[in-house]
Structure 1
Amino acid sequence: MKPRLLETICCQNGRLKGLVFHQARVRRSAHALGWTTLPNLHSITIPQRFQEGRYKCRVLYREYIETVEFTPYAIRPVHRLTLANADHIDYACKYEDRALINAAFAERGAADDVLFVKNGLLTDTSYANIALWDGSRWLTPRQPMLEGTRRARLLEQGRISTADIHAASLDQFEKIALFNAMMDLEEGPVIAVHPTNIRQSRPFTKK
């Protein structure tokens, strides 16, 4: 059976935000998986009771949209991160199956979330892309585990730039911002880079 994919879209006051970026990711994922039919996210209708406020629109699909669910959304506070190895995780497509990500999250200890490291490079947290502030600009990992739609928009706007960011170079930055389709840059959690806030379970070396 074909894997089921997921899109999480921000529904703000009756409008699905960033839909062009979500549809572009659907197109890339379908191409990568060899699908011949594309679901059309523009066909989603928003029920009247979700016309005011911010809601998370969760879309499950294969070659066609299977389910659409709207739920209230609140930004989850994140104050501490722990670095986790992701060399064994492939999440280039936004799969519904997040078992490996959830397993790493369950091992976070006292931290609020995990910050994944793949081949010695920083990637994403369990639910967000990241950008790091070096004192003059925001840098986001060149090769995240998942190319988020908010990340695509921020790059297009010139608000962030890409770079290979080694886990061993983390202390060269001042802070880390988490963002995704539901929360903009600096609207979501911003964490100061300090040993009390970011824990490394083992050293990560540059490769």
Structure 2
Amino acid sequence: MLLETIRCEGGEALHLPYHQKRLEKSSQVLGIHQKYDLQTLIAPPDQELYRCRFLYDANGYTIEYHPYTPKKIASLKLLICDTIEYPLKYSEREQLTALFEQREDCDDVLIVKNNHLTDTTIANIALFIEGQWLTPESPLLEGTTRERLLDEKFLALAPLRSEDIGRASKIALMNAMVGFIEVENGIII
């Protein structure tokens, strides 16, 4: 099944146009003809903060709401994996889970593919270099927050490599749930 993870807060589902766009693109790639309108389907249960999981395929959908507490991420382990593919947001994430399990004492991994930085297991990344936030040209997954921040010109695309980490004064993670947050200590091992 495919998945959209949507932040619900104050009784609203946030940034639905970006989730709808990705849902439609994924459906087209996989030949799913069923139409799902997130605006009419997502109804947060109350004003609290939730992680909404919208799971779907050609046969139907399910919606789950889970209370959300952000995880603290202060360290990332660089991990090379040239074979990973995650172009669509699937609910099954075996390869990402296997990489996450190799994080050792770090909070997550930063995946390097074909000598280029991509993503962590749960977020797109950005490096602050020479006064500008840059995000990898070729992420594993084109996240909705990344797309929104590119549209807003807050981020710029760049062919980031491992050696660019040393040029960065800050590193940030972004996804639908955390928005855009700087890694507290910026530690990459």
Note whether the superposition's TM-score is higher than 0.5: yes
How far apart are the structure 2 equivalents of 1:98 and 1:120? 22
**SS state at 2:119 partner:** strand
Q: Among residues 26, 33, 36, which one is paired with 2:33 in the alignment?
A: 36
**SS state at 2:34 partner:** coil
**SS state at 1:70 partner:** strand
Q: Quickly say closer, same or farther: Cα 1:59–1:156, change in 2 above 3 A.
A: same
Instruction: Give the letter aligned to residue 141 of structure 1.
Output: P
Q: Does 2:101 match 1:106?
A: yes
Instruction: Give the letter aligned to residue 43 of structure 1.
Output: T
Q: Does 2:2 match 1:5?
A: yes
How far apart are the structure 1 equivalents of 2:72 and 2:141? 21
Q: CA RMSD in A?
A: 1.5
- Does the CA-based 8 Å contact 2:6-2:13 persist in structure 1? yes
Structure 1 residues 91-170: aligned runs within 5 Å: 91-170=86-165
Partner of 1:202: none
Report how many aligned residue pairs link the two structures. Answer: 189
Q: Residue 54 of structure 1: CA displacement?
A: 1.3
How far apart are the structure 1 equivalents of 2:141 and 2:184? 21
Q: Among residues 182, 186, 190, which one is paired with 2:183 in the alignment?
A: 190
Instruction: Give the letter aligned to residue 115 of structure 2.
Output: G
**SS state at 1:124 partner:** coil
Instruction: Give the letter aligned to residue 179 of structure 1.
Output: M
Q: Among residues 159, 167, 174, which one is paired with 1:172 in the alignment?
A: 167
Higher mean Cα deviation, 165-174 or 8-17? Answer: 165-174
Please, which runs of 5 or more residues in structure 2 have no aligned partner? none
Q: Residue 39 of structure 1: CA displacement?
A: 2.2
1:137-157 deviations in Å (ceiling 9; x for gaps): 100111110000011111111
The sequence identity of aligned pairs, in percent, is 40
Q: Residue 10 of structure 1: CA displacement?
A: 0.6
Please, which runs of 5 or more residues in structure 1 have no aligned partner? 200-207
Q: Residue 75 of structure 1: CA displacement?
A: 1.4
Q: Among residues 55, 79, 99, which one is paired with 2:50 in the alignment?
A: 55
What's the TM-score once normalised by structure 1's chain length?
A: 0.86
Q: Residue 45 of structure 1: CA displacement?
A: 4.0
Q: Residue 174 of structure 1: CA displacement?
A: 1.2
- Does the CA-based 8 Å contact 1:59-1:65 persist in structure 2? no
**Which has a greater percent of strand?**
2
Instruction: Give the letter aligned to residue 58 of structure 2.
Output: E
**SS state at 1:169 partner:** helix
Q: Residue 42 of structure 1: CA displacement?
A: 2.0
What's the TM-score once normalised by structure 2's chain length?
A: 0.94
